[in-house]
Structure 1
Amino acid sequence: MQTREMALIIRDALLLPQGRIEVRLVDPGQLRMVADVLKGKYHLAFAAMKPSGTPPCYPTATQCEIIDFNQLEDDTLSIVLEGQQRVSILSAAQAKDKLWMSRTLPCQNWQEEPIKGEFELISAALEQFYEVNPDLLELYSQVHLEDAAWVSQRWLEVLPMYNRDKLVLVNQPDCHKTMDFVLQLIKSHVD
């Protein structure tokens, strides 16, 4: 496997493959980074913020693509990112413009698999979550409520948990532990 240089966007959020997130950019360095990414100078990765340490993010990130952008009323830029491929950050350094550049290695994405049996509850609950949060649903042109990996990853992106706890689940070889976790969480609130 080949390593790849990537610019890092670090936020207190999680973005996983096939997920989407809208990010507001205010710093001129970040705007220049977006221009460089769009010109193909390097790839972009989204990493979850870590409370302390250098770099200020966890070593698991997601290579992403910029799929949309909007200029906001205050002249800042909003970009919509779509997660593509999980990556491991091997090293990272901060440039003089305060941007983080990293050397990454691709990781295995979770494989698609059908949701069956009692796990259909987590799919139905996610559909309800999106009905209550239409701004998140608007980011997607298609939802894949029949795919256990897709549903599990969307739950990890939106659950109010510490990033370090989410990444324990993300770093599993498949979505099964996440499905069990979310199902138990939903059941505990129903009982």
Structure 2
Amino acid sequence: MTLQHQPPESLAVFPLPIFLLPGGATRLRIFEQRYLRMVKEASRGDGFALTVLDPNRPESCTPIAAWVSITDFATLPDGLLSIDVMANQLVELTNIHSEPDGLRRATITHYPHWPEHGQSLDNQQLATLLENLFAEHPELNNLYPAPRWQNANWVCARWLELLPINATSKVGFLAADSFTECERQLINMVVDKTSCAE
């Protein structure tokens, strides 16, 4: 399903305990009527905003979201709808409000993320370990038919999404200047620990 290059002026908002960065993909199960309506609207080409669920914020939404498109869908054996989504870019949410059925909607503006970074030795190690992880988990390969192992931003973003850390703890890495700190922490958590275990 192809989206326009720029997000529309407003989008439906789906708060979940899921953290997604540009280029990231995930599979969602949809069952509430308001979100079935959201999927129907999103399938026309606009997509929707996937934001981290945070009960401490107004409307339970973080103000930065991933603008996602639906890449695949299926009906599960239990009758629920499954959709695969991929994040196109980050967007800032303003004027968040709830419609009569509870579906949130917000005004959308582009939010810049990390500028492109060149590959480093440390990032090559992260890429190799990520490729090994994908090989062990075929469901990841299914979500990412064209992985970008040589792209430092892509590799760090996928690690950050996959690590079992509370989603609200990852929100600080939405900032455009957070790449260096993200890479440093990933090296400590992934590369150094792997080296110690060998």
CA contact (8 A) 1:29 1:97 kept: yes
Are residues 51 and 188 of structure 1, via their aligned partners in 2, closer, same or farther at CA, if it must alter by over 3 Å?
A: farther
The alpha carbon displacement at 1:53 in A equals 3.2
Correspondent of 1:32 among 31, 37, 47? 37
CA contact (8 A) 2:13 2:50 kept: yes
CA distance in 2, matches of 1:51, 1:133: 32
Give the match for residue 88 of structure 1: 92
Give the match for residue 123 of structure 1: 127
Residues 48-67 of structure 1 mapped to structure 2, 5 A cutoff: 48-67=52-71
CA contact (8 A) 1:19 1:153 kept: yes
Give the match for residue 16 of structure 2: 11
CA contact (8 A) 1:30 1:99 kept: yes
Q: Percent of aligned pairs with the same residue?
A: 24
Give the match for residue 165 of structure 1: 169
Moved more, 42-51 or 100-109: 42-51
Give the match for residue 45 of structure 1: 49
The alpha carbon displacement at 1:13 in A equals 0.8
Residues 1:144 and 2:148 aligned together: yes
- Structure 2 unpaired stretches of 5+: 1-5
CA distance in 2, matches of 1:77, 1:166: 28
Query: Secondary structure at 2:140's aligned position in 1?
Result: helix
Give the match for residue 115 of structure 2: 111
The alpha carbon displacement at 1:120 in A equals 1.2
1:27-72 deviation per Cα after TM superposition (whole angstroms, max 9, x unaligned): 12211221122235x5411111114332112111111111111111
Correspondent of 1:76 among 64, 80, 90? 80
The alpha carbon displacement at 1:2 in A equals 9.2
Query: Secondary structure at 2:10's aligned position in 1?
Result: strand
Are residues 2 and 78 of structure 1, via their aligned partners in 2, closer, same or farther at CA, if it must alter by over 3 Å?
A: closer
Query: Secondary structure at 1:39's aligned position in 2?
Result: helix
> 2:14 is matched by which residue type in structure 1?
I
Moved more, 122-131 or 170-179: 170-179
> 2:30 is matched by which residue type in structure 1?
L
State the number of aligned residues. Answer: 190
CA distance in 1, matches of 2:149, 2:79: 36
Query: Secondary structure at 1:128's aligned position in 2?
Result: helix
CA RMSD of aligned residues (A): 2.0
